Structure 1
Amino acid sequence: MENNCINISFALFLVNLMIYWINIALRRSKALYKLGTIITISINLLLSTSLILRWISNGYFPLSNLYESLIFLTWGLTFLQLILEQQNRSPFVGSIATPVGLFIIAFASLSLPENMKEASPLVPALRSNWLMMHVSIMMISYATLILGSLLSILFLVLYNIRNRKKNNIKSNNATKQLSRITLLQSIDNLSYRTIGLGFPLLTIGIVAGAVWANEAWGSYWSWDPKETWALITWLVFAAYLHSRLNKAWEGEKPAILASVGFVVVWICYLGVNFLGQGLHSYGWFL
């Protein structure tokens, strides 16, 4: 049942990817938008079912290994996508979130060794209520920051396209140009608000992790590679929000910083862990 939920989710992600991209090509068809939303809800419910079944079966919140965290991250992305779409009624959110969700679910299902998908008894350090609080908040913060950074990347793409065409725009196309500027501002503001939500979640997650580390290992901070990259991630997005709040940077520059943050989040989440070093390692490559 659990595997069936994941496999169906993968298939629906493929369908949704085509729907969202066709929707953009057809200039925002309401019927396709509604269909994409319904499929996203279905994916989220399937992932929820998979996580709940795993929770019931194993007796602990399913966030103890890489496979479970990937499924939870995908659930978080679809959940946030639904929230942002309801607030903004824009197909662009789904068009950038769906490929990432598809990649994550494909990686979890097809690339991970079978032994990494299997649940195993929790080690003593993980037998704590902090498992649910710390890891779930961190994963939701990752999902939020990833989505906000993707919006900044989309902003940069559209911004550069607009600049290339700027010199070729004639006076009778002024309305069209104004429409593009409004779209860019909308995407930029949505990225800012999304990252503004993800940053405090990241902060809470890091603080909760420090408290848990002290309880489990006797030290709040040990400069473990995961901890170090979590701090780097925090600093990157702190710099982004600082530049936006004091209006030192506007438009392209903060969007570039947020795009860097997209890479940093993935290094923090996956890159460091796969090196097989530190207390947070999944130990796959080494």
Structure 2
Amino acid sequence: MINLNKHINNRILMENNYINISFALFLINLMIYWTNVALKRSNILQRLGTIINISANLALSISLILRWIYNGYFPLSNLYESLIFLTWGLSFLQLILERKNKSPFIGAITTPVGLFTIGFASLSLPDTMKRAAPLVPALRSNWLMMHVSIMIISYAALILGSLLSILFLVLYTIRSTRTNQINLNSNYSIQQLSRINLLQSIDNLSYRIIGLGFPLLTVGIIAGAVWANEAWGSYWSWDPKETWALITWLVFAAYLHSRLNKAWQGKKPAILASVGFVVVWICYLGVNFLGQGLHSYGWFL
């Protein structure tokens, strides 16, 4: 028994070490990316940030794999595990986007969210919520890995896309203010053109990422409905999580519809996507503080 407890404690310590390493790397990266944005853009800082992000993602991957091996199920059964997986998803998407787009703004807005989620998981949650426990009957299904992983990856994509829309609004407001305060001359016109190109780049990137997250959200909701019918005998029960997932879907459906038919351009769809940022967090985290539901296993009750 003593040896068993020692083995369990060593395993938990190993997992925690990888999480702590990831937290430290996110904190270092936050300073690197923000320095790169605030000061002169540096390719060296950009590459260093990418290397550190890869290291943090690997540390999170190892932590999740260890938890999967030791506990015998995909680690998405409680709030702690889902927060770690969400952090992994954010850092993984960041790596993909930075490979396609060298803008330092991507890391500058993604890293604080990753730092918040892993910090909340490791520092705020009680130890009882971090420990793995036997799955309740409803979670003993192959749908656990498919439904929950797809939903969280969709959250990561939608959060990142919405953050870019918020960044677009901030830069758009700054540009509009300067335009009203400064009389345009030839030199300023060149700067203005550069800012317009930056705004268009951020707006298009936001649109593409939300365009990735929305179909994943759709597939995740459908998979959840099938799983709910298998577990509870009903495809839809208006559980708080289900209701807010539908609201999230409608908000981003409206955003994509406005972009596809070009009914709105620029500021208006960015505002809608910014609203989506709040809605995603309510769906993912907020409903767990509002009351019990069918999705309350291992969460705040």
* Cα separation, 1, equivalents of 2:300 and 2:61: 29
Of residues 197, 202, 208 in structure 2, which corresponds to 1:182?
Answer: 197
2:89 corresponds in structure 1 to: 76
Which residue type is aligned with residue 15 of structure 2?
E
Greater shift after overlay, 262-271 or 168-177?
168-177
Q: 1:25, CA displacement in angstroms?
A: 1.9
Q: Residues 225-270 of structure 1: CA distance to partner in whole angstroms, max 9, x if unpaired?
A: 1100000000000000000000000000000000000000000001
Which residue type is aligned with residue 184 of structure 2?
K
* Cα separation, 1, equivalents of 2:298 and 2:54: 34
Question: Residues 82 and 220 of structure 1: is their aligned pair in 2 closer, same or farther, counting only changes over 3 Å?
Answer: same
Which ranges of 4 or more aligned residues in structure 1 deviate by more than 2 Å? Answer: 282-286
Q: Residues 8-51 of structure 1: CA distance to partner in whole angstroms, max 9, x if unpaired?
A: 11111110000001111223200000000000000000000000
* Cα separation, 2, equivalents of 1:107 and 1:193: 29
Q: 1:274, CA displacement in angstroms?
A: 2.1
2:184 corresponds in structure 1 to: 170
Contact 1:237–1:261 at 8 Å: present in 2 too? yes
Scaled by the length of structure 2, what TM-score is found? 0.93
1:19 corresponds in structure 2 to: 32
Report percent identity of matched pairs.
83
Contact 2:164–2:203 at 8 Å: present in 1 too? yes
1:240 corresponds in structure 2 to: 255
* Cα separation, 2, equivalents of 1:146 and 1:166: 30
Q: Residues 43-74 of structure 1: CA distance to partner in whole angstroms, max 9, x if unpaired?
A: 00000000000000100000000000000000
* Cα separation, 2, equivalents of 1:224 and 1:106: 28
2:8 corresponds in structure 1 to: none
SS of 2:54's equivalent? helix
Which residue type is aligned with residue 190 of structure 2?
T
Question: Residues 163 and 282 of structure 1: is their aligned pair in 2 closer, same or farther, counting only changes over 3 Å?
Answer: farther
- Show structure 1 runs of 5+ residues with no match: none
Q: Say which one has the larger Rg.
A: 2
Of residues 199, 206, 214 in structure 2, which corresponds to 1:191?
Answer: 206
Which residue type is aligned with residue 208 of structure 2?
R
1:90 corresponds in structure 2 to: 103
Q: CA RMSD in A?
A: 1.0
- Show structure 2 runs of 5+ residues with no match: 1-13
Question: Residues 2 and 169 of structure 1: is their aligned pair in 2 closer, same or farther, counting only changes over 3 Å?
Answer: farther
Greater shift after overlay, 113-122 or 169-178?
169-178
2:11 corresponds in structure 1 to: none
Aligned residue runs from structure 1 range 1-286, under 5 A:
1-167=14-180, 168-172=182-186, 173-281=188-296, 286=301
* Cα separation, 2, equivalents of 1:141 and 1:274: 21
Q: Residues 92-133 of structure 1: CA distance to partner in whole angstroms, max 9, x if unpaired?
A: 000000000000011001111110000000011101000000
Q: 1:275, CA displacement in angstroms?
A: 2.3
Greater shift after overlay, 3-12 or 276-285?
276-285
SS of 1:241's equivalent? helix
Contact 1:276–1:283 at 8 Å: present in 2 too? no
Contact 1:137–1:201 at 8 Å: present in 2 too? yes
* Cα separation, 1, equivalents of 2:237 and 2:38: 50
* Cα separation, 2, equivalents of 1:149 and 1:190: 10
Scaled by the length of structure 1, what TM-score is found? 0.98
Q: Residues 143-200 of structure 1: CA distance to partner in whole angstroms, max 9, x if unpaired?
A: 0000000000000000000000002143121111000000000000000000000000
Q: 1:276, CA displacement in angstroms?
A: 3.2
* Cα separation, 2, equivalents of 1:147 and 1:282: 27
| Residue-pair matches, total | 286
